[in-house]
Amino acid sequence: MQKIKNIIKKFIPKRFLEKRNQNFVIKKYDSYSNYDKELFLEHSNILHQETQLKYIGRIVQLYHIIEKGLTMPEMRLGFGQPKLINLIDKCLDYQKKYDTKNIQYQHAIGVIAEYKNIHQEHQFPLEESLLVKIKSILEKESDLKITKQLIKTKANYFEHQLAAFDTFSNSRHSIRNFSGTIKSEQIEEAIRLAQNTPTACNRQPIRVHIIENKELIAEAFKIQNGNRGFGHLVDKLLVITADISSYQDSEERNLPYVDGGMYTMNLLYALHFNKVAAIPLNWCRTKEEDLKMRKVISIPNSEIIIVFVGCGNLPDDFKLAVSKRYDYKDIFTKHN
């Protein structure tokens, strides 16, 4: 049978076979795109069918915005009030339906209290209506634990640089306050170390674009969404991309992000090891914004932008957002 097939194939023009193969690949990719789309629309937080996890997801995102505001280089008193009101409303809604012992919910309440206290300490008059709202959520908490964003100094931030991995990895944080410059060699050393990142089939698709020119950094930051209040202090900006040239199946469509994510975490540790303060910055942008970025610096079309990493030197003292984690026992499931 195979023999007959091979004989028939010989008489079919090569171009026809190529076209047929191409159509097959495109159809397969479309079916996966639809599968991805269905999963994402059904289970992500875009369309807002309620589950506890989706509620908590929105609460975490909102309290983290407040945490970031509390740790900005120049904290703007009175900042983020619409977000705070939204956060309180979400928490009031959440507590009617779900478990209020949830670590993230508790942390959110603590952040709301911290916001109020800091404004009191600075004698900044918050509007009465906001104070009433804050009171409405705090008075329901019998066991209120007010959060405290972290305070560090340049001297102690890197003190665990050579410590055992558990201590070292716990000492890394996203930095949103920079001062002065760092040497290019420190970044290059980190990139050299991060070359040990595993990649699928060892194809090593990751590329790093280092932007040193301040005007270009400012242009890139006009497009990136998440650097307000500290982007102007970043000394060097890394754009992490994945070159998709060596991926060869539709089933691999998400691998650039897997390889890129693994690389970026490893690079963050390598930067920390080389005493470079750093922060990963999302590249969740529209097609138009993605194309615009490719005009700021020349990025080959075969490279997908994965994430930015802002780098710099530390000021003498600075604040860090707590970024509360779940207990590790809450995030694994054993299947026996």
Ligand X SMILES: Cc1cc2nc3c(=O)[nH]c(=O)nc-3n(C[C@H](O)[C@H](O)[C@H](O)COP(=O)(O)O)c2cc1C
Pairing type for strands 150-153 and 317-320 reads antiparallel
Please select the residue that binds ligand X; options are 95, 169, 174, 246, rule is CB under 6 A. 174
User: 193 or 262: whose CB is closer to ligand X?
Assistant: 262
* CA 137 vs CA 2, 55, 127, 132, 189: distances in Å: 73, 16, 16, 9, 49
Residue among 68 and 319 whose Cβ is closer to ligand X:
68
Contact status: 260 vs ligand X (CB under 6 A):
no
The conformation of residue 314, written as its DSSP 8-state character, comes to P
Minimum CB separation of residue 30 from ligand X in Å reads 28
Rg of the chain on CA atoms, in Å = 24
323 counts as binding ligand X under rule CB under 6 A: yes
Q: Which two tokens stand for residue 112?
A: 């709301």
Smallest separation, CB 70 to ligand X (Å):
13
Q: Does 119 bind ligand X (CB under 6 A)?
A: no
307 binds ligand X (CB under 6 A): yes
Could you tell me how many residues of this chain bind ligand X (CB under 6 A)?
12
Which range binds ligand X by CB under 6 A, 18-26, 42-50, 234-242, 276-284? 276-284
User: What is the pairing mode between strands 236-243 and 303-312?
Assistant: antiparallel
Question: Would you say 88 and 133 are in contact if contact means Cβ atoms under 8 Å apart?
Answer: yes
Candidates 137, 239, 277, 281: give the one binding ligand X (CB under 6 A): 281
Q: Which of 69, 110, 260, 280 binds ligand X (CB under 6 A)?
A: 280
Find the length of the chain: 336
Question: Using the rule CB under 6 A, is 173 a contact of ligand X?
Answer: yes
282 binds ligand X (CB under 6 A): yes
Residue with the shortest CB distance to ligand X = 226
Buried/exposed 265-281: b ≥16 CB within 10 Å, e otherwise: ebbbbbbbbbbbbbbbb
Under the binding rule (CB under 6 A), the answer on residue 226 touching ligand X is: yes
**Burial class, 157, CB count within 10 angstroms (exposed 0-12 / middle 13-18 / buried 19+):** buried
Where along the sequence are the contacts to ligand X (CB under 6 A)?
A: 64, 68, 173-174, 176, 226, 279-282, 307, 323
